């Protein structure tokens, strides 16, 4: 059997058996961490909650790391970076609500 590469921009992919499966929609970027998704929902439901508390409620656990003089989670990401990410995601969510055309 001969193999022909798929067209550029095609949404179909060929499996080993030669059948073609269509993908459902397009996803760009990385898949979201379920803990961050949960923290976003919790923070959106309670705007007065601190970013740190929302991250903890989302399932993150932090420990102090003397190497970077900050708390880090089990993936080695600093608390400051997680809070920045949550804040950015909340801002993007707010902007999308105000202007539905923004992605």
pLDDT tens, 34-43?
A: 999 999 999 9
C-beta separation of 11 from 26 below 8 A: yes
C-beta separation of 11 from 25 below 8 A: no
Q: What three-state secondary structure class fits 84?
A: helix
DSSP state for residue 78 in the 8-state scheme: B
Task: Please name the residue that has the structure tokens 């798929």.
Answer: 6
pLDDT tens, 19-36?
A: 655 556 666 777 889 999
C-beta separation of 16 from 35 below 8 A: no
- Tell me phi and psi for residue 36, to 5 degrees: -70, -40
């Amino acid at each position: 059997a001969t193999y022909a590469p798929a067209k550029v921009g095609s949404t179909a992919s060929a499996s080993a058996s030669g059948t073609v499966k269509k993908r459902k929609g397009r996803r760009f970027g990385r898949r979201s961490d379920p803990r961050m998704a949960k923290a976003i929902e919790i923070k959106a439901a309670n705007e007065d909650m601190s970013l740190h508390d929302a991250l903890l409620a989302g399932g993150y656990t932090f420990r102090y790391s003397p190497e970077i003089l900050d708390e880090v989670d089990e993936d080695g990401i600093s608390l400051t970076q997680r809070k920045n990410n949550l804040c950015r995601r909340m801002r993007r969510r707010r902007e999308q609500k105000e202007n539905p055309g923004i992605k």
